[in-house]
């Protein structure tokens, strides 16, 4: 990405004494976005032979394609030349064709990854600095080789952390700090305050360097990038949540499956080609499952540009101008509680606002929101706010497509007035209930025909009293087995993802001893189910529950289970029913016992296997099982001692193994499976 140190590294190579002695000629050309091939060639020639360069450059009839190669070869003859092309935006293959190949070596820097890289030549991806490197660089820029003095070291670490490993940011912050007093009080403000003056000034100072990368993006990626500004800095973003918001905004218009594929391609392009998205680790890793973040300096660019073009505005204070803004966001949710803010919104943009996003930290106590007058509002994300009572003003927002709230109170029957609603997310603030009480959504939920996602932890779908169906419902998250009756499931035939959460009662009255009862209709009624998540909250392991095999449709590609306490041999029975399974996640004693022998031929398409919090001692896949496994992640399995696996030779370099907080014997066993070079030690 911009500012990561590509030019600095190239300059070190260019000026290295060994390089200088090896190459008789060296040429450094600043290419940039608009540099033409003829201009670049003239610059190269100027470094080698200025007289010939001037004669050629002013010759209007000179044919660069046909004559330059001859001229250059004649000048070089048996001499070697190094050419550095700095800041290449568009790779012109003509340049490689014109330059002679024998004695010329080319080193170029670029902010983006070209497809396959020119001619398959080797490349170095210059990455962000690790934390220790960031701390060292900042300390040296401020205090020389000795680094931070003891009384400022802890604050210096926090400031370095906020720079997120970007050298340009670290150097710029250091330059600004050098102009200020090096006192504990001042540095505390810089380290602790989210929008401190030093960082805002640093962002503004490097804005132009970064802006050109944004400005180079194609239109469809610009809009996607600008939406990142809605999130606070240093915040992870979940891909599925962003997709749901993006869809509700109306930015995608094809079929649902194709939409998500397009959306994922946006992330891949921004991350891999343009380097504007940061993954905490490798994409297949457990630690970054569909989660990414944007560097805080890029979020500054996003916020600034989004506000300028009236795409999205982040509220910072009570006295801002929000004229004609279409999307409003707050990183401090309490701002929406001020009447002054509401009055400004009402005067400046209430009539055209499409989205209201409260994405700041959650509050333990309710934040009052003044009466809403957003007649065209499509998206209301107030999940980080707490409501004692369901705000009835929301029922007037008939254009709503996305609604996310935290509220313990029952939904009012008039919720069905929101007939355009596609996404309904209701989380409880505290999951406290009366003994014997059963929480269901209202019958009116069946009248909301546009619903595509329902996420209601602690509530269930009611049995419909009519023939109503929710044909567009694709995601149902947070319900219990009570929502999985035949009568309910056949009314949601196109469900793609089902997340079931069971909670064992703290008392034993003989009811619901087996939390898996009543789930046999899932495979029978849900023919399109792709992802199934089933978990038991706070499992006690008093009862051994055999998972009913009828709850697993053969269409599943992802299965996640936790807290069931099934014997491991039952997992093999499940696997034999799921020929399309690619991801298997087992948490919190989903299965238990000292050994898991995976039968030969099992899990033929499985690519990712996660086992967390289990009492496994030996994991033994038989030869011929797991032929396509790319990631094995085992976490917090303290008894694990042996990984007895003989994978197909073609899998040796493909499968990654993560061991986190496991027995050291397991680490030793894992290392014996492959050569050491194929391991990345993530065990802490």
Cα–Cα dist 249/354, whole Å: 8
Look at residue 71 and tell me if it is in a domain: yes
Rounded to a whole number of angstroms, the CA Rg of the chain reads 30
What is the biggest distance separating any 2 CA atoms in the chain, rounded to whole angstroms? 98
**Chain CA centroid to CA 254, Å:** 23
- The answer to whether residue 394 is domain-embedded is no
Evaluate whether residue 512 is within a structural domain: no
- Provide the strand spans (E) within 376-432: 379-387, 402-407, 423-427
b/e burial code for range 367-383 (CB count within 10 A of at least 16 → b): bebeebebeebbbbbbb
Q: Helix 167-178 vs helix 153-162: angle between axes, to the nearest 10 degrees? A: 130
**Quick one: pLDDT at residue 372?**
65
* H or E element in which residue 656 lies: strand 656-660
Write out the H or E segment, with its range, that includes residue 668. helix 664-671
| Same domain for 115 and 10 | yes
Contacts for 172-179 with beta carbons within 8 Å, 24 or more apart?
Answer: 172/202, 172/205, 172/206, 173/138, 173/198, 173/199, 173/202, 174/138, 174/141, 174/142, 175/141, 176/201, 176/202, 176/205, 177/142, 178/141, 178/142
199 with 212, same domain: the answer is: no
Interatomic CA distance for residues 657 and 139, integer angstroms: 36
What's the pLDDT at 488?
94
Do residues 551 and 522 lie in contact, with contact meaning Cβ atoms separated by under 8 Å?
yes
b/e for 37-69, b at 16 or more Cβ within 10 A?
A: bbebbbbbbbebbeeebeebbeeeeeebeeebb
Q: What residues have CB less than 8 Å from 193, skipping those under 6 apart?
A: none
Q: Does residue 673 surpass a pLDDT of 80?
A: no
Task: Give 574 or 122, the one with higher predicted confidence.
Answer: 574
> Do 236 and 220 share a structural domain?
yes
Q: Is 80 exceeded by the pLDDT of residue 365?
A: no
On the question of pLDDT at 51 being above 70, the answer is no
Same domain, residue pair 104 and 195: no
Span 579-602, mean pLDDT? 91
Beta-strand ranges (E) seen in 269-378 are: 291-292, 313-315, 327-330, 355-358
Instruction: Provide the domain count of the chain.
Output: 3
User: Based on the domain organization, do 201 and 213 belong to the same domain?
Assistant: no
Q: CA-CA distance, 50 to 42, in Å (whole number)?
A: 9
Q: Cα–Cα distance between 565 and 540 in angstroms, integer? A: 9
Residue 592: count other Cβ atoms within 10 Å of its Cβ: 16
Of all residues in the chain, what percent carry a pLDDT higher than 70? 86
Q: Answer yes or no: is pLDDT of 60 > 80.
A: no
Inter-CA distances, 182 with 99, 142, 504, Å:
53, 10, 56
> Do 164 and 99 belong to one domain?
no
Question: Does the pLDDT at position 177 exceed 90?
Answer: yes
pLDDT of residue 63: 66
Task: Please say if the pLDDT value at position 636 is more than 80.
Answer: yes
10 and 93 share one domain: yes
Residue 250's pLDDT is what? 87
Q: What's the pLDDT score for residue 329?
A: 92
Q: What is the mean pLDDT of residues 97-105?
A: 78
pLDDT of 308 above 80: yes
Closest CA to 426 of 485, 386, 469, 370: 386
Distance (Å, whole) CA 99 – CA 115? 21
pLDDT bracket for residue 407 (50, 70, 90): confident
Same domain assignment for residues 44 and 83: yes
**Which pLDDT does position 116 carry in this prediction?**
55
- Establish if 291 belongs to a structural domain: yes
Q: Indicate the pLDDT class of residue 277, thresholds 50, 70 and 90.
A: confident
Q: What is the structure's pLDDT at 431?
A: 61
Mean pLDDT of 635-645: 90
Q: Is residue 417 part of a domain?
A: no
Question: Is residue 557 a part of any domain in this protein?
Answer: no
Whole-angstrom distance, CA of residue 300 vs CA of residue 352: 24
Mean of per-residue pLDDT scores for the chain:
84
Provide the residue range defining the domain that includes 58: 6-120
If you average pLDDT over residues 26-42, what whole number do you get?
82
Q: Which residues contact residue 676 at a Cβ distance below 8 angstroms, ignoring those fewer than 6 apart?
A: none
Same-domain pairing of 216 and 173: no
What pLDDT sits at residue 675? Answer: 47
| 250 CB neighbour count, 10 Å cutoff | 11
CA 666 vs CA 149, 164, 380, 641: distances in Å: 42, 33, 48, 4
On whether both 197 and 215 belong to a single domain, the answer is no
85 domain residue, yes or no: yes
**Backbone conformation region of residue 95, classed left if phi is above 0, alpha if psi is from -120 to 50, else beta:** alpha
* Of 280, 303, 326, the domain-final residue: 303
Same domain, yes or no: 86 and 170: no
Percentage of residues of the chain with pLDDT beyond 90 = 42
Residue 676 pLDDT > 50: no
- Compute how many other C-beta atoms are within 10 angstroms of the C-beta atom of residue 538: 9
* Domain edge (last residue) among 120, 144, 161: 120
Q: How many CA atoms lie within 13 A of 209 on its CB side?
A: 17
pLDDT, greater one: 563 or 650: 563
Encode pLDDT of 411-449 as tens digits: 899 999 999 999 999 998 876 665 555 678 889 999 999
User: Is the same domain home to 159 and 261?
Assistant: no
Q: What is the pTM of this model?
A: 0.86
Alpha-carbon distance of 476 to 425, in angstroms, equals: 10
Q: Is 86 within 8 Å of 29 (Cβ atoms)?
A: yes
Q: Check if the beta carbon of residue 629 is closer than 8 Å to that of residue 305.
A: no
**Cβ atoms < 10 Å from Cβ of 387:** 18
Measured in whole angstroms, the distance separating CA 479 from the mean position of its chain's CA atoms is: 26
Q: Which is nearest to 456 in space by CA: 440, 467, 472, 469? A: 440
Residue 648 — pLDDT band, cuts 50, 70, 90?
low
* 97: CATH: 3.40.50.300
Is 637 in contact with 609 (CB distance < 8 Å)? no
Strands (DSSP E) along 488-617, which ranges?
Answer: 497-503, 531-537, 558-562, 566-567, 583-587, 591-592, 595-598, 608-612
Would 29 be classed as within a structural domain? yes
Instruction: Quick: pLDDT tens for 519-553.
Output: 778 988 998 999 999 988 777 666 566 677 778 99
Let me know: does 482 contact 462? Beta carbons within 8 Å.
no
Confidence band of 586 (pLDDT split at 50, 70, 90) = very high
Contact 469, 493 (CB under 8 A): yes
- Can you give the pLDDT at residue 283? 44
**Pairing outcome for strands 379-387 and 402-407:** parallel
Domain's final residue, options 253, 286, 303:
303
Do 356 and 401 meet the contact criterion of CB atoms below 8 Å apart? no
Among 164, 166, 294, residue whose Cα is nearest residue 229: 294
């Amino acid at each position: 990405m911009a500012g990561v140190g590509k030019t600095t590294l190239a300059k070190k190579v260019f000026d290295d004494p060994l390089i200088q002695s090896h190459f008789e000629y060296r040429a450094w050309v600043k290419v940039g976005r608009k540099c033409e091939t003829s201009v670049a060639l003239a610059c190269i020639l100027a470094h080698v032979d200025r007289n010939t360069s001037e004669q050629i450059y002013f010759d209007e009839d000179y044919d660069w394609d046909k004559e330059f190669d001859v001229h250059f070869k004649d000048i070089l003859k048996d001499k070697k030349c190094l050419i550095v092309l700095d800041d290449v935006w568009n790779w012109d293959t003509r340049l490689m064709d014109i330059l002679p190949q024998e004695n010329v070596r080319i080193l170029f820097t670029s902010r983006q990854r070209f497809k396959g890289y020119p001619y398959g030549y080797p490349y170095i991806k210059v990455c962000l600095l690790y934390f220790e490197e960031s701390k060292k660089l900042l300390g040296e820029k401020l205090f020389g080789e000795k680094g931070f003095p003891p009384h400022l070291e802890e604050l210096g670490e926090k400031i370095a952390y906020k720079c997120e490993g970007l050298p340009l940011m670290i150097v710029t912050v250091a330059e600004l700090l050098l102009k200020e007093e090096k006192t504990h009080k001042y540095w505390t403000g810089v380290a602790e305050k989210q929008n401190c003056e030093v960082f805002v000034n640093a962002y503004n100072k490097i804005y132009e360097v970064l802006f050109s990368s944004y400005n180079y993006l194609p239109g469809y990626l610009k809009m996607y990038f600008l939406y990142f500004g809605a999130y606070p800095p240093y915040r992870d973003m979940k891909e599925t949540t962003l997709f749901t918001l993006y869809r509700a905004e109306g930015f995608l218009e094809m079929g649902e499956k194709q939409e998500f594929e397009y959306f994922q391609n946006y992330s891949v392009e921004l991350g891999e080609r343009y380097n504007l998205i940061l993954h905490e680790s490798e994409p297949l890793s457990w630690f970054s499952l569909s989660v990414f973040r944007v560097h805080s300096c890029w979020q500054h660019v996003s916020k600034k540009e989004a506000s300028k073009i009236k795409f999205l505005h982040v509220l910072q204070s009570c006295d801002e101008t929000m004229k004609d803004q279409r999307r409003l966001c707050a990183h401090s949710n309490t701002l929406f509680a001020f009447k002054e803010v509401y009055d400004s919104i009402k005067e400046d943009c209430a009539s055209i606002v499409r989205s209201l996003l409260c994405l700041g930290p959650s509050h333990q106590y309710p934040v009052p929101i003044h009466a809403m007058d957003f007649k065209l509002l499509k998206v209301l994300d107030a999940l980080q706010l707490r409501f004692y009572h369901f705000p009835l003003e929301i029922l007037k927002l008939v254009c709503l497509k996305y609604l996310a709230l935290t509220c313990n109170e029952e939904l009012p029957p008039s919720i069905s007035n929101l007939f355009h609603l596609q996404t309904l997310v209701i989380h409880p603030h505290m999951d406290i209930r009366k003994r014997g009480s059963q929480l269901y959504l209202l019958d009116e939920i069946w009248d909301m025909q546009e619903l595509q996602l329902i996420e209601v932890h602690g509530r269930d779908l009611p049995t419909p009293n009519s023939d109503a169906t929710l044909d567009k419902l694709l995601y149902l998250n947070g319900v219990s087995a009570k929502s999985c009756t035949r009568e309910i499931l056949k009314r949601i035939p196109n469900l793609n993802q089902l997340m079931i959460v069971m909670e064992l009662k703290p008392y034993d009255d003989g009811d619901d001893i087996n939390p898996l009862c009543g789930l046999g209709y899932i495979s029978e009624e849900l023919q399109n189910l792709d992802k199934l998540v089933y978990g038991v909250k706070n499992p006690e392991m008093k009862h051994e529950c055999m998972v009913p095999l009828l709850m697993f449709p053969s269409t599943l590609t992802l299965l996640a289970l936790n807290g069931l306490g099934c014997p491991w041999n039952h997992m093999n029975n499940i696997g034999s029913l799921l020929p399309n399974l690619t991801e298997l996640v087992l948490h919190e004693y989903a299965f238990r016992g000292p050994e898991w022998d995976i039968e030969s031929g099992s899990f033929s398409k499985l690519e990712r296997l996660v086992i967390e919090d289990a009492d496994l001692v030996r994991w033994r896949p038989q030869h011929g099982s797991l032929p396509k496994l790319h990631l094995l992640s085992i976490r917090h399995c303290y008894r694990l001692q042996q990984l007895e696996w003989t994978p197909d030779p073609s899998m040796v370099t493909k499968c990654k193994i993560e061991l986190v907080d496991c027995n050291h014997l397991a680490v030793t066993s894992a290392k014996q499976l492959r050569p050491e070079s194929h391991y990345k030690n993530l065990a802490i």
